[in-house]
Amino acid sequence: MKIVVAGADGLLGHEVVRVCAGYGDEVIETDVAKDFRCLDITDMDATLAFLEAEKPHWLVNCAAYTDVDGCEDREDLAYELNAKGPGYLAQACSKSGTMLLHISSDYVFDGEKPEPYTEEDPTNPLSVYGKSKLAGEEAIRQCIKDFIIVRPQWLFGPNGKNFVSTVLGIARERASINVVNDQRGSPTYSKDLARAIRALIEQDARGIFHVCNRGSASWYDLAKKALELAELETRVVPVSTSEFVRPAVRPKNSILSTKRFTETTQKLMPLWQISLQLYIKEYLFEYRKSGQA
């Protein structure tokens, strides 16, 4: 299979490239970052020319503006990358006969549902980021019928800024850290998500899929487990969202149901605690190798 990955220099993009290459796919890594073949998702003409020249089977879009708080100040950029960009990709895919797999977000929900969200649940994003990601989904749906949209959440993994690596970095410098304990989600390893994405491609699936690791946690639970696995003794202090005000409002409970994913692929997502253990081992290996320990 020939697969173009947009945003290949990001947290998820790196893993999608690695997993697909492991399947023997011909993978073309693209990004706006230097050292990558340039595919700017906001340039429709260039994207169409690229796809017509390369004739891939699939375009996997991992590119986005992912700074949730930054989106509140830079609404234009958020909509350009997260809404218009996916719409341009859908048009380019439609014209070139390429299948599109796009990554959206759990932040399309308001977090008021006590149970895990299914793909059929009504959306109601609270932040500019969430609204721009939902607009991206709508731009795709208006343009093409055949697509895969994956909504993941709470990503951690190598090759990119994420909550777990940030907490481990801060914990080395402080005796205690405050972490929000009243927002819940399912922490998700970028490598597990990349395997799930490849499984959906394998199945030639269509539509929206929620994909996250199994089990749920608060940010506090996740920080505590990460520090325990990294054997750091920094105290984690649980605080409420109201004590930790951020520019963007986050959903209280954005746990996603992966039932549809499992029924489609016959695959069960791993438990987040097991995947976190694997990531922390990898993180510590890289940390020690860099001579910082």
Ligand X SMILES: NC(=O)c1ccc[n+]([C@@H]2O[C@H](COP(=O)([O-])OP(=O)(O)OC[C@H]3O[C@@H](n4cnc5c(N)ncnc54)[C@H](OP(=O)(O)O)[C@@H]3O)[C@@H](O)[C@H]2O)c1
Residue positions annotated with a catalytic role: 129
Q: Which amino acid is at 111?
A: G
Q: How far is the CB of 155 from ligand X (least distance, A)?
A: 4
* 86 lies in the binding site for ligand X (CB under 6 A): no
Structure token digits, residue 101: 């797999």
- Which among 261, 260, 8, 212 is positioned nearest to 107, based on CA atoms? 212
Q: How far is the CB of 144 from ligand X (least distance, A)?
A: 18
Q: How far is the CB of 160 from ligand X (least distance, A)?
A: 4
- Which among 82, 68, 247, 240 is positioned nearest to 154, based on CA atoms? 68
The full length of the chain comes to: 293
Query: Which residue carries 């499992």 as its tokens?
Result: 262
Binds ligand X (CB under 6 A): choice among 2, 42, 119, 252: 42
Element (H, E) at 282: helix 272-289
How many residues sit in the footprint of ligand X (CB under 6 A)? 28
Which stretch, 61-69, 119-127, 229-237, 269-277, contacts ligand X (CB under 6 A)? 61-69
* 110 lies in the binding site for ligand X (CB under 6 A): no
- Which among 147, 165, 202 is positioned nearest to 280, based on CA atoms? 165
Residue nearest to ligand X (CB): 10
Task: Write the binding mask 130 to 169 for ligand X: x where contact by CB under 6 A, - elsewhere.
Answer: ---x------------------xxxx----x---------
Phi, psi of 275 (to 5 degrees): -70, -35
Binding site for ligand X (CB under 6 A): 6-7, 9-13, 31-33, 39-42, 62-64, 66, 81, 103, 105-106, 133, 152-155, 160
